[in-house]
């Protein structure tokens, strides 16, 4: 049977870059680079220009394309159009913003108001965020999603959308699996065509930053979703799709292993990892910790029994899928590492490329086992800026064990950078800037003992894990006006792409 046209990668015209500098190889001087058949075909002083578009880079720099190793891409596309409460510092401030937005049609989402990025820290009036107060604000459905998306507050009409009642949730507060299900229901009611247009817009914005690849850990049946998008013309990014527990059989029944191309996606969509969420989040005080949260006996929650976690890991591993295991609290991290070790001892070692996602609070005594297991730390540097106040509030005295990037580097644990967007913006340059400064713009350094150098941060941000391109690489690359490895944090934050290529085709060109 002849392959579908959707199984054939989009052809690319040959391109020859002249007067190009290569990131990671500054001593070589300007070179010429030939791109053909979607690959970096030749790098040298002279190359064949026959049939090619010749582009004079006048000293600009070519880098491997950037990747975001942890996104929720559909949710991010929706979130960019919702009311952002990030800068609110009190419940009173939240209510003021909500009142303003209720009369603004830009924030109307099918007759409801959805707010994101509630950062409920040590606010003096936090007890005022009640179901009664939300009901008084609006007769239409009102949803306030906490940063991290592990919890949120709803008024009575919003609870009804999820099939819940005030008797079920007298505070209007949802967390973890109940919250995840609710956020999914909100997206399920969206117009698919409009949603896919928003996804295309976000992909174009990512290409302007030099991003060529993402890992999409959206909580849905991702195979048909991305097949639909590619069939409709999506072509801006290479996408690795994750599979949660309800979706794992999607991959298994299709015979897909991690790294395999998903059929009918022009080679752009690949099977990714089996995603397992084992604990909660810091902001929701559900991250599973060795010590209780201040003033409580609550240490968070661990979603799985160890036997169930081991069974899920074994099922994925034996079917050729890597693992991406969420752990934010230090107790969750410890239990996960023990389970990985037990599986390895039983002859079911996790496949290369398996990750622990987030790794926000870690016991130093667990670092050696982390390294020995050959796992990767998939981390989100921007979260240390967003969670800084929450770390001081809920993990006081343990801040030196949060976002311990230097421990990872010293132990030889590879890192991959992502954003967990929409929890943080899809902005790889910001992630690198935070990693080398451990601060937001204009802020003081947070736990400077964990500063890392820019080359480490850059490798964690490129699709090939290297600083440079070499012959035989996929032509997924970005053209930059400066050498990014010579920049400080402030300069990194201002970086944009001069041109981005995916498989030899321009996805953005200034």
Q: Which domains are delineated in the chain?
A: 74-188 (3.10.310.70)
Q: Are 475 and 417 in contact (CB under 8 A)?
A: no
The pTM is what? 0.94
Percentage of the chain exceeding pLDDT 70: 99
* Per-residue pLDDT band at 5 (split at 50, 70, 90): confident
Q: In the structure encoding, which two tokens stand for residue 480, read together?
A: 């930059």
User: Sign of the C-alpha dihedral, residues 66, 337, 339, 348?
Assistant: positive
Q: Output the pLDDT for position 441.
A: 96
The mean pLDDT of the chain is 96
Find the helix packing angle between 330-345 and 306-318, rounded to 10°. Answer: 50
Least confident of 59-73, 176-190, 296-310, 468-482: 176-190
Q: CB atoms < 10 A from the CB of 193, how many?
A: 10
pLDDT higher at 472 or 189: 472
SS3 295: coil
Q: Output the pLDDT for position 3.
A: 56
Q: Output the pLDDT for position 26.
A: 86
Q: Output the pLDDT for position 484.
A: 98
With a CB cutoff of 8 Å and minimum separation 6, the contacts of 43 are 22, 31, 32, 33, 34, 469, 470, 471
Q: Are 226 and 266 in contact (CB under 8 A)?
A: no
CA distance 49 to 35: 10
pLDDT higher at 429 or 184: 429
Q: What is the pLDDT of residues 128-183, one digit of tens each?
A: 999 999 999 999 999 999 999 999 999 999 999 999 999 999 999 999 999 999 99
Q: What is the pLDDT of residues 284-326, one digit of tens each?
A: 999 999 999 999 999 999 999 999 999 999 999 999 999 999 9
> What are the start-end ranges of the H helices in 283-398?
306-318, 330-345, 367-372, 382-386, 388-394
Find the helix packing angle between 222-231 and 192-208, rounded to 10°. Answer: 80
């Amino acid at each position: 049977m002849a392959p579908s046209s959707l199984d054939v990668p989009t052809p690319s015209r040959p391109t020859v870059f002249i007067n190009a500098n290569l990131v990671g190889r500054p001593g070589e001087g300007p070179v010429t680079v030939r791109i053909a058949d979607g690959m970096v075909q030749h790098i040298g002083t002279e190359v064949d220009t026959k049939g090619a578009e010749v582009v004079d880079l006048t000293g600009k720099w070519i880098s491997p394309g950037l990747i975001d190793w942890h996104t929720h891409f559909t949710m991010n596309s929706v979130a960019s159009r919702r009311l952002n409460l990030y800068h609110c510092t009190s419940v009173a401030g939240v209510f003021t913003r909500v009142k303003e937005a209720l009369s603004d049609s830009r924030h109307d989402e099918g007759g409801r108001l959805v707010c994101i990025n509630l950062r409920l820290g040590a606010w003096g009036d936090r007890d005022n965020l009640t179901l009664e107060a939300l009901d008084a604000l609006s007769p239409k459905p009102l949803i306030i999603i906490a940063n991290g998306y592990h919890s949120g507050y709803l008024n009575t009409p919003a609870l009804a959308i999820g099939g819940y009642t005030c008797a079920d949730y007298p505070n209007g507060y949802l967390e973890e699996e109940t919250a995840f299900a609710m956020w999914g229901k909100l997206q399920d009611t969206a117009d698919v065509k409009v949603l896919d247009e928003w996804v295309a817009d976000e992909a174009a914005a990512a290409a302007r930053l030099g991003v060529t690849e993402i890992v999409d850990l959206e909580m849905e049946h991702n195979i048909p979703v991305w097949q639909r998008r590619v069939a409709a013309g999506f072509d801006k990014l290479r996408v690795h799709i994750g599979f949660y527990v309800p979706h794992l059989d999607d991959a298994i029944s299709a015979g897909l292993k991690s790294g395999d191309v998903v059929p009918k996606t022009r080679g752009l969509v690949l099977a990714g990892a089996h995603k397992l969420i084992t604990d909660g989040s810091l902001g929701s005080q559900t991250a599973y910790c060795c010590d209780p949260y201040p003033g409580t006996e609550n240490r968070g929650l661990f979603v799985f029994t160890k036997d169930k976690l081991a069974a899920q890991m074994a099922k994925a591993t034996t079917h050729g899928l890597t693992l991406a295991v969420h752990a934010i609290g230090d107790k969750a991290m410890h239990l996960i590492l023990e389970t990985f070790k037990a599986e390895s001892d039983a002859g079911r070692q996790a496949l290369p490329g398996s990750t622990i996602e987030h790794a926000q609070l870690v016991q130093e005594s667990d670092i050696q086992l982390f390294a020995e297991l050959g796992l990767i730390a998939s981390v989100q540097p921007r979260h240390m800026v967003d969670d800084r106040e929450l770390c001081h509030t809920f993990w006081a005295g343990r801040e030196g064990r949060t976002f311990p990037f230097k421990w990872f580097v010293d132990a030889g644990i590879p890192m991959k950078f992502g954003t967990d967007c929409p929890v943080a913006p899809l902005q790889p340059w910001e992630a690198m800037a935070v990693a080398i400064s451990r601060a937001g713009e204009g802020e003081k350094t947070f736990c400077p003992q964990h500063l890392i150098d820019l080359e480490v941060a850059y490798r964690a941000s490129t699709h090939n894990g290297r600083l440079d391109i070499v012959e035989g690489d996929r032509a997924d690359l970005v053209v930059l006006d400066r050498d990014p490895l010579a920049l400080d944090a402030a300069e990194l934050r201002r970086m944009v792409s001069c041109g981005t290529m995916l498989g030899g085709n321009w996805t953005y060109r200034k």
